[in-house]
Amino acid sequence: MGKRDGSVMAPENNISYIFIPFRYEGQDSRSLPEVLKSSGDWELVDDEIEYMLKYVADRIEGKDSGKSRYEHFVFSGLSEYGGRETVFYTEKHLYNGEETEFGFRIQSIQLYYFNTSVSVLAFGLHFEPGTDGEPGLMPPQMMYISSAQYYLKKVSREKIHGGSIDGDTTLLRFAQEIMGRLSPGGTFDFFFYARPGTERANLFTYIEAGYSEDIVHELFYLRRCYNEQYLYHQDGKRDEQEIYSAAENITWGLSAEAAVCITCPAKGGEDFLYNVFFRNFNRQYLLMYVLLLHQKYVLYLFQTRITAELYEDIDTLETYRNNLYKFETDFVYSRVTEVSQYQDLYDRMSQVFALKEMYEDVREPLQVLVDARSAELEKHQKQAEHDQKKQEERMNKILFIISVVCAIPAGADLFRIIEFILNLAM
């Protein structure tokens, strides 16, 4: 059994998870979970997913097959890089007219394993915006976080320094270094769907805000990880799709690249937000977001593999189609729970990820290629059957000629008989 709630920390006024997807190929027969468990660097976490419907939870945990489809680990070697209290910094960027290094602390590094070959690393970051002694963040501090995220989401480009990490390291290199500690090693393919240098990470953020009547302006930036240089503009139709008020004191902002939850204890429910909701955010809501991210990354993997070159390989096409069906059976659900606040958020996140459209993008060309190749094979088969039939007819005629010739009596007009037979064979 793993460590219970090993990834959940004490309440903070902000926490952001930045996600790095990867594929793993081992150098021996051991699976990635086996390598992680024997490494000494990673501890298995027991996730509580009782809020999910039983059929969803059982499939995720592999109870119906006896094989693990999902496992959750937390990195135990964070102290070697400075620990949770060490402040790291970005490069210097112009912010509010001043050169600024954005500060953050790494609170956790988690790994979500899936048996699809696509897994996800999650860095839990606490930003240091300065709060003037106030418990909740005000608009300037929230803009600080959004601007920091704007740079850090470019995980292969933004240099970070602090603790034992020098200024030539990025979050992606940090992830590669951590995974490179595994022994025996394997091959890790990070952001397998993106060109090197173009990697952009998704973020999942919790912010405790000070009292404010309206946070639409802040949500415009935070749900897109924009910096302050982006001009704000209001779009009522889009806001309706991407802003979700779960309660008077809980508001979500969603986009394809990020999700942010802003709570306001000053509006009431302080005990619930501190003692229940923050814990659920770091456990159940986080897992739900990771499950949706996993779907997106697997679909990206299919899209990178389905090309016109596969047209000649009907067996591979069929394999990919069967793999897609299996993936949908194991990891894709229209309903995950009867708890409305989770299900409503799950539906909205699915929509902003455009997962339905992504599935169509994968299914359609795959089906077209399979159907086209099948039609061509059927055409060749019919032509072969037609040629075979003509060949059989010709052979039957030849056999008939031979039998007639053998039956000709001596002294018969041979030339006239041959002429008659040739006419029959035409």
* Cβ contacts of 364 within 8 Å, gap of 6 or more: none
Q: How many CB atoms lie within 10 A of CB 210?
A: 17
Task: Specify the pLDDT at position 403.
Answer: 73
pLDDT value of position 295: 96
What pLDDT, in 10s, does the model give residues 364-380?
777 766 676 666 666 77
Q: How far apart are CA 15 and CA 7, in angstroms?
A: 12
Instruction: Please check whether residue 123 is in contact with residue 172, taking contact to mean a CB–CB distance below 8 angstroms.
Output: no
pTM > 0.95: yes or no:
no
Lowest mean pLDDT among 10-24, 191-205, 239-253: 10-24
For 93, phi then psi, to 5°, come to: -135, 155
Confidence of residue 101 (pLDDT cuts 50, 70, 90): very high
Q: Is the pLDDT of residue 10 over 60?
A: no
Q: Of 57-71, 237-251, 370-384, where does mean pLDDT reach its minimum?
A: 370-384
Is pLDDT above 60 for 6?
no
Segment 220-242, tens digit of pLDDT: 999 999 999 999 988 889 999 99
The yes-or-no verdict on residue 117 having pLDDT over 70 is yes
Burial of 395: CB neighbours in 10 Å, binned 0-12, 13-18, 19+:
exposed
Q: What percentage of the chain exceeds 70 in pLDDT?
A: 81
For the purposes of burial, counting CB atoms within 10 Å of the CB of 12, is it exposed (0-12), middle (13-18) or buried (19 or more)? middle
Q: How confident is the model at residue 133 (pLDDT cuts 50, 70, 90)?
A: low
Does 3 score more than 50 pLDDT? Answer: no
- Nearest of 334, 324, 316, 326 to residue 362 by alpha carbon: 324
How many CB atoms are closer than 10 A to CB 144? 23
Strand 203-208 versus strand 243-247 pairing type: unpaired
H-assigned helices in 204-354: 216-222, 236-242, 270-272, 278-280, 286-305, 314-331, 340-352
pLDDT at 309: 67
Higher pLDDT among residues 349 and 29, named by residue: 349
Average pLDDT across the chain, whole number? 85
122 within 8 A of 49, measured Cβ to Cβ = no
Residues in CB range of 331: below 8 A, 6 or more apart: 59, 60, 69, 114, 116, 291, 294, 295, 298
Instruction: Provide the pLDDT for residue 218.
Output: 95
pLDDT value at position 5?
Answer: 43
Quote the percentage of the chain above a pLDDT of 90: 54
Average confidence (pLDDT) over 205-217: 91
- The residue-averaged pLDDT of 196-216 equals 93
Helix (H) / strand (E) element for 176: namely: helix 171-179
